[in-house]
Structures are given as C-alpha cells and as structure tokens.
Amino acid sequence: MQMRRKVYLAAGTYTVSLGTGRKEFHPRKPRPGIEHYMQEAGRAVISKIPDVNVIDECVVGNFMAARFNRQGNLASLMPTIDPALVYKPCTRVEGACGSGGLSIFTGIKSILAETADVVLSLGVEVQNTVKAIYGADVLAGAGHYASQRKNGHAYFFPSMFSDRAGAAFEKFGHEKVRRAMTQWYVNAVEGARRCPEAQEYHNTVEDLHAIGNTPPNPKVFVDHLNFSDCSKVSDGAAALLVLSEEGLKKTAIAAKDAVEVVGFGTSVADLTKQPEDPTQADTSQSAVGKAYEMAGIHAKDLAFAEVHDCFSITGILMAEATGICGHGEGYDFISEGRTKLDGDLPMNLSGGLIGHGHYTGGTGVRETVDSWKQLTGRAGDFQVKVPSDRPYGLMISMGGNDKTVVTLVMQQAGS
Amino acid sequence: MDLAQRYTDVGVIGAAGKMGSGIALLLCQQMTHRRLGPDGKGRRFKLTLMDVNDAALDGLQSYLASQLKRMAEKSTILLRGLYADRKDLVENGEIIDAFVADALALPRFTTDLGAMKGAHMVFEAIAENIDLKKKVYGELKNLCGPETWFFTNTSSIPISLLDREVGLGGRIVGYHFYNPPAVQKLLELITGPDTQSDLIEASKQIASDLRKKVIPANDIAGFIGNGHFIRDGLYGISELERLTGEHGFPEAAYLVNHVSQDWLIRPMGIFQLIDYVGVDVFQCILGVMNRFIDGEDLHSTLIDALMDKGVRGGQNPDGSQKDGFFRYEKGRPVAVYSLDEGKYQPLDDSWTGKLDGLLGTLPEGYVPWKGLARDPGKNEKLAAYFANLRATDTLGSSLATSYLKRSKEIGENLIKSGVAANAEDVNGVLLNGFFHLYGPINDYAADPQTVH
Ligand SMILES: NC(=O)c1ccc[n+]([C@@H]2O[C@H](COP(=O)([O-])OP(=O)(O)OC[C@H]3O[C@@H](n4cnc5c(N)ncnc54)[C@H](O)[C@@H]3O)[C@@H](O)[C@H]2O)c1
C-alpha cells in the first residue's frame, strides 16, 4: 500500500490528565463531565486556526462513555465545541483503548478519500466517575464478555497482562523481566515530571525503584503486577487536525508546524482467542510492519516511538514490536536505559500511559499529539533530538489484549 | 458443637451502639462468607441484633448496608470465588450487590432480649455498667442453652466477676475490640482462670476470621489498653495540675497536650485523646479500675470537676468531636477549657506562642507523627530524635523525658502485676490499638548504656 495523497497532522493539543497523582484531583469533589473535556481540547485546536468553518468533518474516539458517563451519541456532542460544527459530518469510533488511534485513522481515510481537507480528530474518556473495582467491569468490555468475563479476575485487564508477565518470567527469568518492568515505571514517572499536563507531573518520590519493586499482592490485586506496573485511571481529551495539502493552506498552517503521515497500519485479531504467545504482541507487530512498509523505513530510522504501555510489561512487548530489538531482547534494552530521553530509541517521553495518564479512548490521539510535538520541536522539557538521518516517529495505539491496533509513521512536513 | 455450627446462630446485644454496630457488621460479613462457602450449604444462618434503643436500630440497618457494600468492594476477588457457580452474576458490580443482599438477609433486628434464645454465641456491647451487665447476663443465662458462649466487649470490668456472680461456668471471655471495630486491627482477649479452654481456642479462631490481631490480657480491671491509657492520662492530669500553679489552667493544659503529642511524636495529645474517648468514659473506667485494683489511687478530682460542669467529650452521632478539654473545629482543637471561668479560651498565637517559647524548640530530627507513620525507616529516625531530645536542656524535653519514663513504668507494671505476659504484648497494644509509633517499654528516655 502506498499513500495516494499526502496527509498531515497539526494543531495538536491535550488537556491535563486528571486523576490520582494530580494535586487538583479530589475523588470526592465534583468534576467536569465528558463534554467539558471535548470542548477544552476541541477549542484549543480551533484557536490555532484562523477560521473554524474550514473544518469539513469531525471524528471522536471514545471507549465506554455509555457506561462511565451514561452518555451515548458522542458525535452530536462535537457541536458543543463550536456552533460552526453543527450539520458537519461526525463519526464516533470505538476500539477499546485503541479508539484514539481509530479516530486518527478515520480522519486519514477521509483525507485519502478526498471527502475532506480538514478533519478535527479527537479522543476522550472520563473514567473517574466510578470506583476502580467497577471501572474494571467497564474496561473488561475490551475483552470477550461471553467467553471470558465470568471466569475472569475482578481486575480483569490487569490480570490478563499479569498472565503475560508471568509467561515472560517463566521464559526469560523473573529477575531480568522484573528489572525491566521496574525501569519502565521509573522512566514513565521521569518522563511525566517533564510534562505539565501529565498525571504524575507532581510526583516527587525520591526512590522510584523501591516503589516499582513493591511485591505484588494477589489477595488485593493480581499475581504478577503491582500498582506501579499499571497505567492510571484518568479523565482527559486530546485532539488535532488531519489535513490534506489543501487543508494546510485553508488553515494557514506552515509545513514546519505539521507532520506528514508517511505510513500507517491497522490490524485486528480475534477477540475470542487467547494470544498464541503471551510474550509477544503480534497484532501490534503486524500493524507496525504495515506502517514501515508503506513508509519504506525500518526501526533504525526512528528518532523516537510513542507506544501503548497500559502496563509495564506491555511497554516492553511494544518496544519489541517496534523491531528495534529482537524477541526477548526488550528486557535488557529497557534495563540498560536505551529507551530513555537520551537513549538509542527514546520512548514515551511525556510519561506514556503509566506516567502521563490513560484516558482510554483518547490515549491514541494523545500519543500522536506528543509525536507531533517532538517532530515540530514543541516538546519542551521532554523534547528528543530528531537527527536528520533518523527523522521518523512511530506511534502505536492498541486496544484490548493486543486486539485492535493502529500505527503511524510520521516526519516533519516539508523535510 | 463445632465452630461452624456455632456461627449459624449468633446474637449481638447493644448492637446499635458504637461498638455493637461494628461488631455486628464484622459478624454479618463473616457469617455471609460462611454461608456462601462450602460448609454453608444446607445450613440456616441467623444474626440477631438486639438493642433497647429501637430508633437506633433503624440507623444500624443503613449503616450495615453502606458498610457491607464498602467491604464487598474491597474483597471482590474473594467474592468472585464464592459466587463462582452463580452463572447469572458476572460483573464485579453484580457480585457486590448480590453479596450485600445476601448479607442483609441474615440480621433480625429486635428490642427483645428474648430473641437471644437459641443463639450459640452472644456478643455483648452494652454500656459499661457492672450492675446492668450483671442483670443482662443473669437473664441470658436463663434464656440461652447451657452451651452458649458469651463475648463481652467490656473495657474494664473483670470477666471473672461476671462469670462468678452470674454463674456462667467459664463460658465468657473478654473480647475487647477497639473503636471502630470494623477498622481497628487490635483485639484484647481476656480470659480468667475458669474460662473454658475450647472457648479460648475458638475466640482466637473467630478473631482471625474477623482479621483481628489478638493480644492476650489477664483479667485485671483495665486490661492492657486501658491499663496503660488511664494511668498515662492520670499522669498527664497530674502534670497539668502541677503546672497550673505557675501558668494557669488553660496554659498548663496546652503545654501538656502539646508535649504529649509533638514532643512524644504521638497521634494525639493526651487531653485530646481523653476527649476522643470521652471524659465520661474515662471517669467510668477509672471508677471500675479503682474499685478492683488495690494499693493505687485511681481517681481524679479534675475529671470529676469537668463532669460536674458538663464537660464530657466523646463524639456526636455524625462522628464530629464534642467539647472536652478542648473545643474542636474540623477535628482540630481551636479553644481550651478554662476551669475557673467555665468557658473556652481560643487558642491563638498571642499566648500559645509564648508557651511554645517556654518549651523551647523541638529537638533536631523531629518529624510529626503523620510524617513518620508510614516511613519504613521510622525506628532509626525515632531513636535519633529521642537521642537529641535527651541531649537538649529545655522545658519541653524535660517534660517529655519524664512522660516517657512514666509511660514505661506503667508498661512495666502491667507485666509485674500479671496483666500482660511480656513487653511485646504491652507494646503491641499501644502500637496497634493506639497507633503509637513505638511501644512504652523502650530506651528512649535513658541513655542506652545506663539500661541493664
Ligand atoms: N467506645 C469505645 O471506644 C469502646 C472501646 C472498647 C470497648 N468499649 C466497651 O463497649 C461497650 C459499649 O460501648 P459503646 O461505646 O459502644 O457504648 P454506646 O453507648 O455507643 O452503645 C451501647 C448500646 O447499648 C444499648 N443498650 C444499653 N442498655 C442495653 C440493654 N440493657 N440491652 C440492650 N442494649 C442496651 C444502648 O442503647 C446503646 O445502643 C462498653 O462496655 C464499653 O466499655 C467501648
């Protein structure tokens, strides 16, 4: 597959990722609803263009507002962002925690289909509306309810990835895998401390390794993960514009302020099946392969990657899925610090899902916004060096237990 | 009768009170777990919750409903196992709701003591009044079968006295939960020479079922917890009286409370703790201890004077703190009682600042109780802090050092008089029941080399 038309991303933004860890978060005080986040992110995008009327279409990615917020029909909430969006086409897309990736993917398709030049792509989730034990029920919807939920764990998804960690312990040795998982957590918080919107931005703990090494307690949680191995429960939204060349002109966005999508991939796997090898994220690998092929690049051409680390173990499987190291090599790669800000392939520089936060349906958009920030030099304290011979950024948005995946390869436009 | 059988018919008396409601909650949860477990099949379970206060029983129902839900939310992993064969219950939310409904099906609410007939185990938490308890146990003895066991939550009354005078034949133990029973981990188990041995064994098992840490105490009025607290409180009062001459009553109350909280790194100052427990409860326990313990003057004219003026402490039904030595806003002392004037004097810097100056600065290494409570390195930090305290020559450190010495002496006397088996048990009660960071039996008041 080749890109038949140029597609750009620009004007990215995200809200604070609100939840435990943020000073302004108080579990018992009233908080803004889902439309507030949509409006905050959507308006921030619109404020970056001279005329809102050039937006041809909107896409909103969301996982479970129907349960978290008892709200469906989210597409029709988009016009609350701006009255100019009334009567515009808008689609709501869902692919569990990969919904954000699908939101951008859908925008890209509209550009390629030449049915739009400017698409507002947004992703949102507001999940602090229920206690974690009930939130686990809602998130379990990303697995197969009929065949898995009854016999599943109270903390359904943590338990699925705990099983993956267990399999990795067995195959590669507990110490090696655990060390990498802890390092992943440490990197995540260090990254979040550099990004003011991140949920762990206020984290001041000195000995992060000690927290990361807390022994798991299966009586209150799962067998092989502790709480620091998990992404956060978050409220937030992220948004950007997906544009054609014509769209760049209409929005008066300079090429240097946009990134070009040079490759993308999407793959799904059978929701009702268990992973063949739990120590690999093969669906993600497949989607990464498609994006690389379309872009004509390899992992060694990347300046950084933004990957889906819903759990520390997932982060490591994703690192391997980028292809920068082989199967089983990701553990040492991470333990040696090679994914840190100054490493061989820096990853998740604003903290990833564990440090930045994980408003599930919005996360893929947030990852893409961070990629856009990196490639256009807007990442502030978490800015990586983008070398001219490795000018690409990779984004992996993943839903469920490696079931629904969207990947993007991007580079600064005009370069 | 085995314990599984005993658990099928249980009663709580005084079930609508502070302690009774918490005990009822714990039993309701445990009995429901048993009902749902493998041994529960084919058994009927009944939890009789009795109180003379009918209106308060309404409140008990809603308390149980909300607390059972919270408990279920925290034990969903276990509950998913217990409901594994219920195909209709899939999500955590469904399982939690089913558990609450199943649990609420166990209690029968009543004002009739006669409903205890048939109970295999009776937990009693009525007011701390010897005559009332004797009367109730007299009736229970006639009502219940000869195998029924009794668990009294008394804070101070010797259980052998109840056993002997009522003629219970060793079927009673002291089962001293701490307030609130659903939260506090500690349980003092008080047995006498006649207590049936299988009752003692079962008492330990039940405590572990209810996830309590048992510390055994001998049957001497006050046991370990109040044995220490009441005497510690009396020492604080004697210091208050001593310092009143020079500084005035409110000033002395402020000084002693401040030293006993901050200089000793305790969760509360001594007078705040007495207010929390209740000046009335303090007086009541003091009275019982004084009656049964020889050779020690366990009495306080100051406490009597406060009670005469209607200063009682304790909590309002909503959990907020009533006026006692101090007046409170949002749980923090804002004014101190003036005994002469019979009114509260606001705590403000204009005069407390001067007193702080008199005490001197807190020794180096001071960290408030809150900051140390979860610190894994707290023991080293406490040792370093108290070494500095000993090395400083201020009014604050001399008051604190005397306090430490007296607290230790009280602890050691509890062992000497046979109330506690050893220092570990004394320290365990203060650590677990009073949330002290260190036990009273320590070397913090004296240089290590002078200790033998
Ligand atoms: N409150 C504490 O901190 C604490 C701690 C440990 C032990 N205790 C002990 O627990 C017992 C209860 O204390 P509390 O603080 O819960 O008191 P409380 O006043 O809150 O509760 C006592 C309950 O007993 C009921 N009652 C009174 N007479 C009764 C009778 N004849 N039959 C049935 N019910 C009757 C009252 O209506 C009330 O609901 C006391 O023995 C006390 O010493 C209290």
Reported as a single tens digit per residue, the pLDDT across B263-313 is 999 999 999 999 999 999 999 999 999 999 999 999 999 999 999 999 999
Instruction: Return the residue whose CA atom lies nearest to atom 15 of ligand 1.
Output: B18
How high is the mean pLDDT of chain B? 95
Q: With a cut of 60, say whether residue B197 has pLDDT above it.
A: yes
Claim to verify: residue B195 and residue B232 sit in the same structural domain: no
Query: Is B260 close to ligand 1, i.e. is its CB under 6 Å away?
Result: no
Same structural domain, B229 and B352? yes
CA of B155, closest atom in ligand 1: 43
The verdict on residue B441 lying in a domain is no
Residue B38 pLDDT > 50, yes or no? yes
Residues B199 and B293 placed together within one structural domain of the fold? no
Q: A222 in a domain, yes or no?
A: no
A282 falls in which pLDDT band (50, 70, 90)? very high
pLDDT digit string, tens, across residues B227-250: 999 999 999 999 999 999 999 999
- CA B292, B295, B297 angle in degrees (round to 5)? 80
Judge if B54 and B153 occupy the same domain.
Answer: yes
Asked whether residue B258 falls in the same domain as residue B403, the answer is: yes
Q: Is the pLDDT of residue B451 over 50?
A: no
State the pLDDT at residue B446: 80
Listed residue (B271, B243, B241, B249) closest to B340, CA to CA: B249
Q: For residue B90, give the nearest of A131, A149, A155 by CB distance.
A: A149
The pair of three-digit structure tokens given for residue A356, joined into one six-digit string: 């930045």
Tokens of B181: 């029973």
What is the domain count for chain A?
A: 1
Query: In the predicted model, what is the mean pLDDT of residues B147-171?
Result: 96
Question: Domain with A44 in it: what CATH number?
Answer: 3.40.47.10
- Site to probe by mutation for ligand 1, drawn from B12, B13, B18, B25 as the one with most ligand atoms within 8 Å of Cβ, is B18
Cα-to-centroid distance, B131 and ligand 1 (Å): 14
Structural domain harbouring B328: 225-433
Which phi-psi region, left, alpha or beta, contains residue A273 (left: φ > 0; alpha: ψ -120 to 50)? beta
CB contact under 8 A, B73 and A131: yes
Interatomic CA distance for residues B160 and B167, integer angstroms = 10
**Using a 6 Å cutoff on CB, does residue B158 contact ligand 1?**
no
| pLDDT score of B452 | 42
Per-residue model confidence (pLDDT) at position B447: 58
Q: How many domains does chain B have?
A: 2
Q: What is the CATH number of the domain that holds B26?
A: 3.40.50.720
Give me the residue from B77, B87, B91 closest to A137, CB to CB: B91
Residues of A in contact with B96 (CB under 8 A): 133
Alpha helices in B177-278 (DSSP H): 197-209, 225-247, 249-258, 270-277
Task: Give the residue from B218, B240, B267 where a domain finishes.
Answer: B218
Of B73, B91, B96, the CB nearest to A149: B91
The closest CB to that of B92, out of A136, A219, A220, belongs to: A136
Ligand 1 binding pocket mutation candidate from B23, B126, B151, B322 (most atoms within 8 A of CB): B126
Partners of A122 in the β-ladder: A60, A239
Helix, strand, coil share of chain B (percent; to 5) = 55, 15, 35
- From chain A, pick out residues whose CB is under 8 angstroms from the CB of B73: 131, 133
Q: Taking CB atoms and an 8 Å limit, are A154 and B93 in contact across chains?
A: no
B76 touches chain A (CB under 8 A): yes
Give tens-digit pLDDT for B60-103: 999 999 999 999 999 999 999 999 999 999 999 999 999 999 99
Residue A176 lies in a domain: no
**B19 Cβ below 6 A of ligand 1:** yes
Q: Does the Cβ of B13 fall within 6 Å of ligand 1?
A: yes
Q: Which of B80, B87, B93 shows the shortest C-beta gap to A134?
A: B93
Domain range spanning residue A247? 8-131+233-256
Q: Residue B129 C-alpha to ligand 1 middle, in angstroms?
A: 9
Taking the CB of residue B81, how many other CB atoms lie within 10 A of it?
Answer: 12
A219 to B77: CB separation less than 8 angstroms, yes or no: yes
B445 located within any domain:
no
Touching A: B residues 352-411, CB under 8 Å: none
Distance from the Cα of B87 to chain A's closest Cα (Å) equals 7
| Residue B452 lies inside a defined structural domain of this protein | no
CB contact under 8 A, A140 and B87: no
Q: Which residues of A touch B (CB under 8 A)?
A: 131, 133-134, 136-137, 140, 145, 149-150, 153-155, 218-220
Cα–Cα distance, B64 to B29 (Å, whole number): 10
B163 and B279 in a single domain? The answer is no
**For A133, which of B76, B87, B90 is closest by C-beta distance?**
B76
Evaluate whether residue B198 is within a structural domain. Answer: yes
Q: Are A284 and A402 in contact (CB under 8 A)?
A: yes
A8-17 confidence digits (pLDDT tens): 999 999 999 9
Q: Is B232 in the pocket of ligand 1 (CB under 6 A)?
A: no
Ligand 1 atom with the shortest distance to the CA of B281: 43
Collect all residues of chain A within an 8 Å Cβ-Cβ radius of residue B98: none
Task: Determine whether the shortest distance from the Cβ of B53 to ligand 1 is under 6 A.
Answer: yes
Look at residue A335 and tell me if it is in a domain. no
Q: Is residue B446 part of a domain?
A: no
* Closest atom of ligand 1 relative to the B136 alpha carbon: 31
d(C-alpha A105, C-alpha A59), whole Å: 10
Distance, in Å, from the CA atom of B356 to the CA atom of B399, rounded to the nearest integer, reads 13
Mean pLDDT, rounded, for A69-93: 98
Q: How far is the CA of B15 from the centre of ligand 1 (A)?
A: 8
8 Å CB contact of B77 and A131: no
Is residue B439 in a domain?
Answer: no
Task: Say yes or no: CB of residue B313 within 6 Å of ligand 1.
Answer: no
Pocket test for ligand 1, best of B54, B61, B133, B155 (most atoms within 8 A of CB): B155
- Pair (B199, B66) in one structural domain: yes
Q: What is the pLDDT of residues A358-372, one digit of tens each?
A: 999 999 999 999 999
B126 lines ligand 1 (CB under 6 A): yes
Cβ pair B92:A220 closer than 8 A: no
Closest CA to A104 of A258, A241, A202: A241
Pocket test for ligand 1, best of B12, B19, B186, B212 (most atoms within 8 A of CB): B19
Give mean pLDDT, residues A2-29.
Answer: 95
Starting at the edge strand found earlier in the chain, the sheet holding B332-338 runs: B326-329, B332-338, B343-346
B147 and B287 part of one domain? no
State mean pLDDT over A267-283: 97
Any ligand 1 atom below 6 A from CB of B51: yes
B255/B400 same-domain check: yes
Q: Which helix (H) or strand (E) holds B404?
A: helix B395-416
Query: What does the pLDDT read at residue B399?
Result: 97
User: Is B375 part of a structural domain of the chain?
Assistant: yes
What's the whole-number mean pLDDT along residues A272-280?
96
Closest by CA position to A345, among listed A291, A391, A305: A305
Whether B118 and B201 map to the same domain: the answer is yes
Check if B451 contacts A (Cβ < 8 Å): no
CA distance A138 to chain B (A): 9
pLDDT digits (tens, 9 = 90+) for A200-240: 999 999 999 999 999 999 999 999 999 999 999 999 999 99
The structure tokens 């030049």 sit at A117
Identify the sign of the CA torsion B25, B28, B32, B33: positive
Residue B285 in any domain: the answer is: yes
- Segment (H or E) for A182: helix A174-192
H helices of B262-394, in order, are 270-277, 279-292, 301-308, 349-359, 369-372, 378-391
Ligand 1 centre distance from Cα of residue B177 (Å):
12
A264: which 2 tokens? 């993308």
Checking if the pLDDT of B370 tops 60, the result is yes
The residues with which A239 forms a beta bridge, in sequence order, are: A13, A122
Check whether residue B195 and residue B261 sit in a common domain.
no
Whether residue B181 is found in the same domain as residue B324: no
Strands B107-110 and B149-152, sheet pairing: unpaired
Per-residue pLDDT tens digits for B405-433: 999 999 999 999 999 999 999 999 999 99
